Amino acid sequence: MTSPGSGRTPHRPARRSGAPSRSPLPHRGRAWLLGVILPLAVTGAALGVIAAWVPRLPDELVTHWGRSGPDATGSLGSLLAPFAVYSAASLLVCGLFAVLTGRTAMVRRLTAGIATGMATLNAGIVLSAVHSQLDAAGPADVADPGVRILLACAVAVVAGGVAAALAGADPRTLATTRVPASAPRADLTDDSVVWRAEATVSRSARWVLLVLAAAVVALAVATGMAADAWWLAVLLLAPVPLMFLFLSWRVRVDAAGLTAVSTLGRPRQHVPAAEVERAEVVEVDPFGEFGGVGLRIAPDIHGTVGVVLRKGEAILVHRSGGRRFAITVDDAAQGAALLNSYAERARGHRS
């Protein structure tokens, strides 16, 4: 394939490109159900169960466990106070994000999953602490609820995953405007032209991640030993493998649009050519604009989804419905030019 004679497009910060979309956010009913109603129901159900257990609880409850067992006691109110604070904050923050954001499927799934998962986790932890004290004669008879809490964490992950799966995929919204004349184009003879690239993190970034992973492992082991709670170490170690899942992606632009797939096959990001309003080359700062490297969501009005693995040039795709997708990759100008040409051809075929 050949790129336009003008070469690369001018670079400019990703956050300044495009204009806010006024199109309504999709799947609002699901956002309210999974981000607000279901978490409230889970929290209320936990409180109802605890209320039913009150006659079976001792007057003095264990409120904290240390290495040698229970090391603090108090009333049921003092045990529930942290749960009330954490739950209220989680319900408020997660609920607001769920109903006020969600222009893309990834954002909707993330907010719904976190809202439901956090409510389930908070409820599971307090239920574990209270359940371990049913029919106990006193603090000395209360067992450590660590295993129950670890089980509650697993249930919370499953509940969050189910909520994320039910949050709703992106509706197929075809681009209605023409590709701007100023957008770069590639010469197309047919639909067989393909552009391929690989997006990876730099060697220095890999070393930073390795050091960070080692620090997390050391912290998890030290915390588990200090608290004499193996389940806490397992919980802290769980996110470590996720740090290395999204460090290399295969990128392809063809007649179907732009597709980015991690080396493991999942996750996968796809932008259909018929939904591309325009593609351009921009300069991206992963930490400044996305808060880190990997598959990220930018905290902007668009909720831009990005595969951002290094600082430098990236393809920024403006999609229908006010959505945006960015991916840092070498030779971004050719990929953007070909994507614009296929987007223009998709409009012609639709006509």
Dihedral over Cα of 183, 275, 249, 255: its sign: negative
pLDDT value at 349 more than 70: no
The answer to whether residue 70 sits within a structural domain is: yes
Residues 263 and 120 in one domain: no
Mean pLDDT of 265-273: 85
Q: Supply the pLDDT for residue 150.
A: 83
Q: Is 273 helix (H, G, I), strand (E, B) or coil?
A: helix
pLDDT value at 244 more than 70: no
The answer to whether residue 102 sits within a structural domain is: yes
Q: Is 198 helix (H, G, I), strand (E, B) or coil?
A: strand
pTM, to two decimals: 0.74
Mean pLDDT of 16-36: 73
Q: Tally the residues of the chain.
A: 351
Weakest-pLDDT range from 22-26, 37-41, 171-175: 22-26
The answer to whether residue 23 sits within a structural domain is: no
Task: Report the half-sphere exposure of 278 (CA within 13 A, side-chain side).
Answer: 16
Residues 134 and 231 in one domain: no
Quick: pLDDT tens for 161-190.
Answer: 999 999 988 888 887 888 888 888 888 777
Q: Which residue has the tokens 């199109």?
A: 23
Residues 180 and 222 in one domain: no
Q: Supply the pLDDT for residue 140.
A: 74
pLDDT band at 243 (very low <50, low <70, confident <90, very high): low
Cα gap 251→177, rounded to integer Å: 26
Residues 53 and 134 in one domain: yes
Residues 218 and 284 in one domain: no
pLDDT value at 296 more than 60: yes
Residues 128 and 78 in one domain: yes
Residues 195 and 318 in one domain: yes
Q: Which domain holds residue 224?
A: 202-245
pLDDT band at 322 (very low <50, low <70, confident <90, very high): confident
What phi and psi values does residue 133 have, to the nearest 5 degrees? -110, 5
The answer to whether residue 15 sits within a structural domain is: no
Q: Which residue has the tokens 């001018």?
A: 10
Question: How many folded domains does the chain comprise?
Answer: 3
Q: Which residue has the tokens 């649009």?
A: 257
Q: What percent of the chain has pLDDT over 70?
A: 83
> In terms of Cα–Cα distance, which of 330, 338, 173 is closest to 257?
338
pLDDT value at 108 more than 80: yes
- Could you say which of 245, 280, 300 is where a domain stops? 245
Q: Supply the pLDDT for residue 50.
A: 93
Residues 79 and 132 in one domain: yes
The answer to whether residue 260 sits within a structural domain is: yes
Residues 149 and 71 in one domain: yes
